[in-house]
Amino acid sequence: MILGFGELTSMRYVYLALGVWGYLTTVLSNVSVITVILIHKALQEPMYIFICALCFNGLYGSLAFYPGLFINLLQKVQTISYTSCILQVFAIHTYGGCEMTLLAVMALDRYVCICDPLRYNSIMSLAVVYRLIVAAWFYSFIFITIHIILTVRLTLCDSAILKIYCDNWSVVRLSCIDTTVNNTFGMVVVLALMVAMPSLIFISYMAILRVCVKSSQDFRAKALKTCTPHLITITNFIVDVLFEIFLYRFTPTAIPYALRVFMSVHFLVAPPLLNPLIYGLKIREIRVKIIYIYMKIQVANLVFSCLKLN
């Protein structure tokens, strides 16, 4: 039983329309950025490839959340099968883990670019970039897979989930047996993903800051322009996750209903929606290519319409 919907069902069609709009916008914006990077060889550089991976992960996370949301908004009683719930848990948690590891890898890329620019192309070759992306996904997937295996072994005594989607902690809370192992490994996952990765990001940016302090004003301006979209993305995601982990995990019922729903939705909706908009608007090369493709489509449609009229 997905009990987190609560008051949402009284205006289900309004929220359904908003959800469809959000999902279509997310898909369109992420696919646009991915397509532009893939079809333009000039953009097939480390920074843009990492952005492409981040957008792909956003699509994956959205697919884990939105279909279930639509189904439950259309139902009179919000339920989900155990298998579907576990699959959603796995998808949502791997999305979050991969987002964090990819942001850490992108911080490492910015560190090499700014602190060792002369060796950047040799250090961050395309082969290294692809290995880093695979490693980022593998690192997250291995921890989350073990986490889910420990959850699947539990015997459940209840069936009420207080959120609008399934997450691991909500399922573990339903267990009849001792969950010490789950809780302990859960802390390991938090340390591995939400402590180690932000620490790597912090160290990278401290090194970048030291280099910028000793450099010219022009160099600092270029570094700031390069790092700003990444810093915005990091801040947005980490704030969302910290709310999700600490506030909901320890006092779910003490949080007002509207805030609880907002936190859950923001964690899954905002990063996939904002990431391509942040990078698409902030990074001139991507913005120009997207506008160029859009204009070509518009011209093609205009020519096709003229031919039909003739």
301 is a domain residue: no
306 is a domain residue: no
pLDDT of residue 49: 92
Q: Of how many residues is the chain composed?
A: 310
pLDDT of residue 62: 94
Average of per-residue pLDDT across 10-39: 89
Name the band, by pLDDT with cuts 50, 70 and 90, for residue 104. very high
Three-state secondary structure string covering the chain: CEHHHHHHHHHHHHHHHHHHHHHHHHHHHHHHHHHHHHHCHHHCCHHHHHHHHHHHHHHHHHHHHHHHHHHHHHCCCCCCCHHHHHHHHHHHHHHHHHHHHHHHHHHHHHHHHHHCHHHHHHHCCHHHHHHHHHHHHHHHHHHHHHHHHHHHCCCECCCCECCCCCCHHHHHCCECCCCHHHHHHHHHHHHHHHHHHHHHHHHHHHHHHHHHHCCCHHHHHHHHHHHHHHHHHHHHHHHHHHHHHHHHHHCHHHCCHHHHHHHHHHHHHHHHHHHHHHHHHHCHHHHHHHHHHHHHHHHHHHHHHHHHHC
Q: Are 174 and 158 in contact (CB under 8 A)?
A: yes
Average of per-residue pLDDT across 153-165: 89
Report whether pLDDT(138) > 90: yes
CA distance 62 to 102: 17
Name the band, by pLDDT with cuts 50, 70 and 90, for residue 41. confident
Domain containing 30: what range? 3-284
49 is a domain residue: yes
Q: Are 40 and 46 in contact (CB under 8 A)?
A: no
The tens digit of pLDDT for each residue in 213-263 reads: 888 888 888 888 778 888 888 888 888 787 777 666 665 566 777 777 777
CA distance 198 to 204: 10
Name the band, by pLDDT with cuts 50, 70 and 90, for residue 117. confident
Average of per-residue pLDDT across 102-118: 91
Report whether pLDDT(163) > 70: yes
Kindly report the average pLDDT of the chain as a whole number: 85
15 is a domain residue: yes
- How many folded domains does the chain comprise? 1
Report whether pLDDT(159) > 60: yes
pLDDT of residue 174: 92
Name the band, by pLDDT with cuts 50, 70 and 90, for residue 10. confident
291 is a domain residue: no
pLDDT of residue 242: 78
71 is a domain residue: yes
pLDDT of residue 53: 94
308 is a domain residue: no
Predicted TM-score (pTM) of this structure: 0.88
CA distance 168 to 183: 11
Name the band, by pLDDT with cuts 50, 70 and 90, for residue 189. very high
CA distance 190 to 128: 27
Among candidates 82, 86, 66, which has minimal Cα distance to 74?
A: 66
224 against 51, higher pLDDT: 51
Which CATH number do you get for residue 19?
A: 1.20.1070.10
252 is a domain residue: yes
